[in-house]
A and B are shown apart, each in its own frame.
Chain A
Amino acid sequence: MAAHEILAATNAVVTLDVALPGTVWPWLVTVNMWAKSIGTGVIFMLFMLLRMHPESGNKLRMQTSIVAFIFINIFLLFTLADLHQPFRFWHILVYPSFTSAIAWGTFMASAFLGLLTLLLLVAWRARTNVECNTNYDKILLWTTILAIPVTLYTAALLSQCTARELWQMPAESAQMILAALLSGSATMILIGGDKLTYEAKKTLGVVLGLSALMSFIIYMSEYIFGAMKAEEIAFTLEYIKGDGAYTVMFWLGQWMTYILPMLLIVLSRSSKSESILKLASILAIVGLFIVKHVWLMIPQLLPMS
């Protein structure tokens, strides 16, 4: 039953109540998710390049480490900025509750940042001592393994928000990994420049295009074409349908992140144009922020009581 049908059936109106709280988790949390996708995504991509295209991957250890380090720090900084008591952040380390995905995420992200710092130091040393690259690659293996739960934990955290049914969908974990692959490959195309061979760029383009395609299919089948919806999700999705408050932003995000990059990647392969590939990458990175923001905002618009 659609939202308007439920309201018509009950014919009930709230006539006196307090004002409800506004947005609880604002754009700061969007930055958090977006930056984390890039920070872990580039690690996945470097790991892949070193195996599939070592001639390109070998030249990108330092750049990748710097980019991952910066974006994971942005992620942590905005996590801190969103706290109402940021100077009590250390409480998580002293009084952790291990039923909480927030606590697990804090420990994993801290360990991940530690490994990234180590990667940076080893990459720096490798400038004068090439043998350090072997150590780098060993640390990278563990960093890549840890990047998987660091990417996924946000889905676990949001699924602990029992109140917001939209975030309870099992596909959200897949969306988190796909977002990391999409933003990681797009960032790698941009930072790789001339260090990437044409074949390596083609591979990154395929990763970008396929992750965009899969992510888009999941969004469409869950949000737009899936007919069976729980009452709460039906109400939430009203915000991205018709003249909903987030309809324009939702479709802008879908076009920028998924549809246009997919088309541009096909075009770049047929025309062998690297500029078009870079344009697809920029659109995907910017669009991902919009997609994540809509996903974060719409469940927060529903009255809980």
Chain B
Amino acid sequence: MQLGFLVDLHLCMGCKGCEIACKVENEVPLSTWRLRVKYVDVGTFPETKRTFTPLRCNHCENAPCERICPVSALHYLDNGIVNIDKERCIGCAGCVMACPYGAIYIDPQTQTADKCTYCAHRVASSMMPACVVACPVQANIFGDLDDPTSNISQYIGAHQPSVQVRKPEKGTNPHHYYVGGGNASLNPLASARLEGDNLFGKITTLPVGGHH
């Protein structure tokens, strides 16, 4: 079994329901996110469009975070999830530096690395991840990539030409796919970040782990 995620960006309407559900389910501290939805506006008025991109850990098959972790705090589960043992983590932040997707953060409460685990605790109880349950338009599709009859495998098969992953050139083989993505939505360097583009107005960066 290799669990994976697919987000159909044609369906996502940027409601941030997944973001909130994740925060609540995993008690993610203030100033940190396991999952977030980024809005990018493309074009010049009146020819403009807005894209919404949910961003979370990609649970890579060849995960740089797992490789760099000196104590195996980041490790693979049998179902392909890249999980984290916060009790073992020493907070070296090597994984934060290694992740090409900016998906790992230092939890300001525990001072250890943390990230999306595809809600491994829910999956272990045969439940869907919280973000999947919360999505009102079923833009999040979760399932077994090894099972050709699973929803995600069939969705990938049906939409094959437009199925993409983020930063394929990194060779990480993400288990997280997007349908309907473009350069502006999937490549962070393809869009300008102007001051005041975030939830906190003029705060453009936050201290890592709450200090430094």
Residues of chain A whose beta carbon lies under 8 Å from any beta carbon of chain B: 3, 6-7, 10-26, 82-86, 88-89, 91-92, 95-97, 99-103, 106, 157, 160-164, 231-232, 235, 300, 302-305
| With contact pairs A20-B102, A22-B205 given, residues A163 and B97 touching in the complex (Cβ less than 8 Å) | yes
In the complex, whether B193 has a CB less than 8 A from a CB of chain A is: yes
User: CB distance A15 to B197 under 8 Å?
Assistant: yes
Measured between beta carbons, the chain A residues less than 8 angstroms from B198 are 16-19
Measured between beta carbons, the chain A residues less than 8 angstroms from B197 are 13-17
Measured between beta carbons, the chain A residues less than 8 angstroms from B131 are none
In the complex, whether B175 has a CB less than 8 A from a CB of chain A is: no
* A92 CA / B90 CA spacing, docked (Å): 8
Give the distance to chain A from B91, nearest Cβ to Cβ, in Å: 3
* A161 CA / B170 CA spacing, docked (Å): 11
Q: Which of B180-205 contact A (CB under 8 A)?
A: 183-184, 188-194, 197-200, 203-205
Q: Which of B55-93 contact A (CB under 8 A)?
A: 55, 64, 66-72, 88-93
User: CB distance A85 to B91 under 8 Å?
Assistant: yes
In the complex, whether B209 has a CB less than 8 A from a CB of chain A is: yes
How many of chain B's residues have a CB under 8 angstroms from any CB in A?
63
User: CB distance B93 to A12 under 8 Å?
Assistant: no
Most A CB within 10 A of own CB, among B50, B90, B101, B191: B90
User: B31-72, CB under 8 A of A: which get 1 and which 0?
Assistant: 101001011111110000010000100000000101111111
* A7 CA / B203 CA spacing, docked (Å): 22
Which of the residues B33, B89, B105, B189 comes within 8 Å of A235, measured between beta carbons? B189
Give the distance to chain B from A100, nearest Cβ to Cβ, in Å: 4
Give the distance to chain B from A81, nearest Cβ to Cβ, in Å: 11
* A3 CA / B40 CA spacing, docked (Å): 18
